[in-house]
């Protein structure tokens, strides 16, 4: 599955993307670490990324997670990823949204467009009712991306996720599928 934008395209990640994903993670290690769980050294190896992508594919096969690479058109360079994960069916019909973008491409408007495409995917293709996202309150840029895409703030989840070795609060945002 591929979704095209003006400057980028989204493609479901698979093990063939291991080298590109490793390069993205290594190039952005310090930047991503500010907003990510601590990673062991194995994570930053080709084998570590292959294993990560195998897990992502298994989760997709079960309908629990869809992770897309964000690739620049022309060069086909992997500049980030976006995931719809923790998908819950039954009466909830909900999922979580998460993403990262190479620090050299921040501020270009790509991520707002990516998030809007993922909303369309979640609501129109996966038929979800609600998407949630959690962002550290000091990450104003990410909150702005979500709000521009239509998410609304719901409150603070206190010390909800261990980021960079510390339990961190997260601003919770959500968007509801009003078309159903």
Q: Which domains does the chain have, with CATH numbers?
A: 2-176 (3.40.630.30)
Confidence of residue 129 (pLDDT cuts 50, 70, 90): very high
Confidence of residue 7 (pLDDT cuts 50, 70, 90): confident
| Residues of the chain above pLDDT 90, percent | 90
| Residues of the chain above pLDDT 70, percent | 97
pTM given for the model:
0.94
pLDDT of residue 179: 80
**47: exposed, middle or buried (C-beta count within 10 Å: 0-12, 13-18, 19+)?**
exposed
Tens-place pLDDT, residues 13-48: 999 999 999 999 999 999 999 899 999 999 999 999
Residues 72 and 79: beta-carbon distance below 8 Å: yes
HSE-up (13 A, CA, CB side) for residue 161: 17
Instruction: Give the residues across from 2 on adjacent strands.
Output: 11
Nearest alpha carbon to residue 125 among 169, 174, 68, 70: 68
pLDDT of residue 6: 80
């Amino acid at each position: 599955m591929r979704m095209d934008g003006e400057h980028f395209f989204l493609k479901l990640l698979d093990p063939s993307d291991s080298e590109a994903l490793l390069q993205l993670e290594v190039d952005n290690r310090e930047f991503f670490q500010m907003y990510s769980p601590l990673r062991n050294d194995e994570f930053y190896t080709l084998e570590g990324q292959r294993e990560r992508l195998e897990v992502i594919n298994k989760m997709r096969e079960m309908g629990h997670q869809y992770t897309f690479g964000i690739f620049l058109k022309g060069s086909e360079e992997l500049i980030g990823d976006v995931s719809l994960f923790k998908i819950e069916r039954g009466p909830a019909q909900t999922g979580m949204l998460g993403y990262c973008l190479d620090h050299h491409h921040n501020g270009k408007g790509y991520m707002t467009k990516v998030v809007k495409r993922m909303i369309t995917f979640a609501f129109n293709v996966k038929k979800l009712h609600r998407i949630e996202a959690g962002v550290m309150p000091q990450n104003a840029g990410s909150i702005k991306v979500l709000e521009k895409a239509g998410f609304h703030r719901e409150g603070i989840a206190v010390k909800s996720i261990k980021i960079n070795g510390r339990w961190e609060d997260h601003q919770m945002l959500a968007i509801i599928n009003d078309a159903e």
